[in-house]
Amino acid sequence: MGGTQRMPRAQRREQILGAATAAFARTGFVDTGLDDIAAEAGVTRMILYRHFDSKIDLYRAVLARARANLGAAVGGPDYNAQIIDALLAGASRDPAGFRLLFTHAAREPQFRADSDRFAAEMTAIAEQQLAAHIPDPGWRRWAAHLTPTATIAAITAWLDAGQPDPATAAVRIRNAVTGIVVAAAASTTAHPHPPC
């Protein structure tokens, strides 16, 4: 790796973040060393330290980049029907970042609080959006927790399945999420005893 090509600082940082995202998504925070990331990025460990103070600092930057990329894909904070299309587009552009953000970070003790905060924000947004559709506050809270969780799980499963039929993926996921909202909004007198 002796002659690393000089490039502008911002471009080099982006190169390192992209390589770190791929490496962390492949083997997790604990099992990924800075040497692994340096090799993935085609740089020396010394160059990594010019941009990041530690592996923790680098991982936080990777998560912040993944959130920013997803935020750019999604746009505003509204949880509406088009958010699923936007999340799918963001996930397909950066599958490793999506997985890190929604799967791996929650499993890493050092980053669990960040992951929990992010999940709480999604739940709060969903609850605001569902208020007009689900009058019962208990079922609204249930749906507000479940709809983002189901959406993320469905998109992750879609990525894992090789991104089948991207033209109709959003419709299929939206149908699943709509089922949650319909179930939460349903009157309990309509079906007092669930079918066995």
Residue 181 predicted with pLDDT over 80: yes
Provide mean pLDDT across the span 167-171. Answer: 93
pTM for this predicted structure: 0.83
Its sign, for the CA torsion 7, 10, 12, 15, is: negative
52-76 residue pLDDT tens: 999 999 999 999 999 999 888 887 6
* Residue 54 falls in which region: left (phi positive, over 0), alpha (psi -120 to 50) or beta: beta
- Long-range Cβ contacts of 68-73 (<8 Å, 24+ apart): 69/93, 69/94, 69/97, 70/94, 70/97, 70/98, 70/101
Q: Are 48 and 76 in contact (CB under 8 A)?
A: no
pLDDT digits (tens, 9 = 90+) for 4-60: 567 788 999 999 999 999 999 999 999 999 999 999 999 999 999 999 999 999 999
